[in-house]
Structure 1
C-alpha cells in the first residue's frame, strides 16, 4: 500500500488505515457511501482485528457497566417469569436474545421480527410482556451497537455540517420510523386491532421477496459498486414505518435491504439500521411510559433476560462486521433475511 493511500498511525497506537474517499465517484455523479468501512476492508486481517488502545479501554469500561447493570436489574421489583432460574432471568430467553441480537447488529434485522413470534408463539409469553420489553431492549442495544459500529469504523456518523450520506440516511429513516413507532403503541392501547395472521403472512412474503431479490442483486451488481440514490430510501423508510405501525415486524429487513437497493455500502447499511431502530424504539418507549403514566400497567419481566443476552451481542456483532471482508459480508444481509422469512413461515404454518 503506497504512502498516498494510507493515513499515518494515530498517536495512541492505532492501526493506520487507508485515506477516506473524497465523497464522489470518479465521474462526480454520486456520493460514495461507506468510506470508513471501505478503508478498513482494504487492510489485512491482522490489522482489521487490531483495535486502538482507547477503543480497548472503552470496551473494558463497557464490560464493567454490563456487570453492574445486570446486577442492578436483579434488584428491580419485576414479575418472575416461569422457567426463571436466577431472579428474573430465563436461560432460553437470554440465549435467544444473544443469537438474534448478534444477527440484528451484524445484518441490521431480525431481533424484533424473528424473536417476537418465538416469544409469543413458541414460548407462550403475553404480548404485554413481549412488546414493551422488546422496545426497551431494542432501544438500548440499537444505540449501543450503533456506537460500536462507529467505534469499529463500519460507519462514520458526522454530527457537524456538511453531513455525510450515512448521517442523512439515519435522520431520514429514524424520522419516518419514529412516527410508525408512536402509531403502533397508540393502536395497541386504543384497541385498534389488525388481523395478526394476515399481517404475519404479509411480512413473511415481503421479507422473502426482498431477500431473494437482494441476493440476485448482490450477485449481479453489489451495492458497493452501485450508484447511490438516496431518494429511494424515502419509499423504503415509509414502508418500514408502516410495518412498525401495524405491529407486524419487518422493520429491519425493509430498511437494511432498502439501503442496498439504494446503493448504500453493505456494512454501513447494517450500522445505519441499528442506529435508526434504536432511536425509533426510544420514541416508542417514551410513548409507552406516557401511557403508563395514564394508568395502564405494563409488564417488563422479560427485560433482564433480553438485556443479559443482547448487550453482549451488541458489542460482539459490530466487531465481527469489521473483521469479515465485504466480499463475503455482502451476502450476509440478504442471506439472513431469507432465513428470517423461513422462520416466519415455520411459526406461521408449522407451529
Structure 2
C-alpha cells in the first residue's frame, strides 16, 4: 500500500516537473479572466489576450490558446448559467450560427498573417485598448431602451473580432445587447453559452492552419478557468458590476498601452 502511494506520488511529481515554469502564472490568468467573464459576460479573451501578448506569446498562438481554453471554461460557465436559468433560448439561437461563421473567418485571417507578428501584436493591442475604453463607457453610460438592431450581424462581427484579437465576443456582443435594453442577467448567461460554440469554431480553424502549440498556456488557462467558472456564474447576480467593469477596463487599457509602448521601443 505504501509502495503504491509512493508510486503515485512519484508519478505526480514527474508530471508536474514537465510543466512549463510559467504554467501556474497562466493558470492564475485563466482563473482571473474567467471570474471576470463569468460575472460580467465579457472580457475573458480581452484580459487573457493582453496578458499573453505582454509575455511574448505570438498573436495567433495566443488567440488559439485562449479559444481552446474557452471551449472548456465557457462550456462549464454555460452549463452553470443554464442551471441558474440565466439563458434566453431565442437569443441563443439567433447568436449561434453567425457567431460561429465570424469566429472561423477571423481565425483563418489571423493564422494566414502569422509571419507579420511584429506588426499584428501592437495592432491587436490597439484593439484591446479600444475594448477597454468600451467596457468603461458601458459601465458609466446610463442604460436606455433602443431597438434590438441586427443581432446576426452583431454576432458575426463579434465572432470575427474575437478570433482576431483573442477576445471581444463579450465586450462587443454582451455590452451592445445590454446597452440596447436587454436584461443583463439573461444576456450574460446567453452570450456565455454561445461562446462555447464560437470558441470551438475558432479553435478548430486555428488547429487546421497552424497546428497545436503552446500547450502549457492552454493547460494553465483551462485549469484556472474551470475552477473559476462555477464560482463566477453563482456570483454573477451578486457582484457590483459597474465597479468591476471599470476596473477591468482600466486593467486592459494599461496592459495594452504597455504592449504598444514596447513595440514602439523595439522599432
Range class of TM-score, shorter chain: 0.7 to 0.9
Q: Does the alignment pair 1:140 with 2:78?
A: no
Whether contact under 8 Å (2:53, 2:259) holds in the other structure is no
Task: Measure the CA separation in 2 of the matches of 1:235 and 1:212.
Answer: 24
Greater helix share, 1 or 2? 2
Matched, 1:115 2:44: no
**Cα offset, 1:245, TM superposition:** 4.8
Q: 1:255 aligns to what?
A: 173
User: Which shifted more, 176-185 or 189-198?
Assistant: 189-198
So what's the TM-score if we normalise by structure 1? Answer: 0.61
Distance 1:259 1:330 in 2: 16
Task: Provide the TM-score with structure 2 as the length reference.
Answer: 0.77
Q: SS where residue 249 of structure 1 aligns?
A: coil
User: Following TM superposition, by how much is the alpha carbon of 1:282 offset from its aligned partner in structure 2, in angstroms?
Assistant: 0.9
Instruction: Quote the offset at 1:333 in angstroms.
Output: 4.2
1:168 aligned partner: 90
221, 228, 232: which is aligned to 1:317? 232
1:99 is matched with 32
Q: 1:155-209 deviations in whole A, cap 9, x for unaligned?
A: 14xxxxxxxxx2232233332221222123322443475743234213412440x
Gaps of 5+ in 1: 1-73, 85-89, 157-165
Distance 1:228 1:141, change over 3 A: farther
The secondary structure found in structure 2 opposite 1:182 is helix
CA contact (8 A) 2:110 2:163 kept: no
Q: Secondary structure at the match of 1:146?
A: helix
Structure 2: where are the runs of 5+ without partners? 1-11
**More divergent stretch after superposition (271-280 vs 126-135):** 126-135
1:216 aligns with 2:216: no
Paired residue for 2:221?
306
Distance 1:332 1:187, change over 3 A: same
**Whole-Å Cα distance in 2 between the matches of residues 340 and 107 of structure 1?**
15
CA shift for structure 1 position 234 = 4.2
Question: Could you tell me which residue of structure 2 aligns to residue 278 of structure 1?
Answer: 196
CA contact (8 A) 2:40 2:245 kept: yes
Report the CA distance between 1:289 and its aligned residue: 4.2
| Higher relative contact order structure (alpha carbons within 8 Å, sequence separation ≥ 6) | 2
What is the aligned partner in structure 2 of residue 69 from structure 1? none
Measure, in 1, the Cα distance between the counterparts of 2:137 and 2:49: 25
2:241 alignment partner in structure 1: 329
Equivalent residue pairs, number: 248
Q: CA RMSD in A?
A: 3.2
Paired with 2:21 and 2:246, the residues of 1 have a C-alpha distance of: 34
Which has the greater radius of gyration?
A: 1
Q: How does 1:1-351 map to 2 (within 5 A)?
A: 80=18, 82-83=20-21, 90-122=23-55, 124-127=56-59, 129-153=61-85, 155-156=86-87, 166-191=88-113, 195-208=120-133, 210-217=134-141, 220=142, 222=143, 226-227=144-145, 229-247=147-165, 249-291=167-209, 296=211, 298-324=213-239, 328-329=240-241, 332-333=244-245, 336-349=248-261
- Offset of 1:97 from its aligned partner? 1.1
8 Å Cα contact 2:174/2:188 also seen in 1: yes
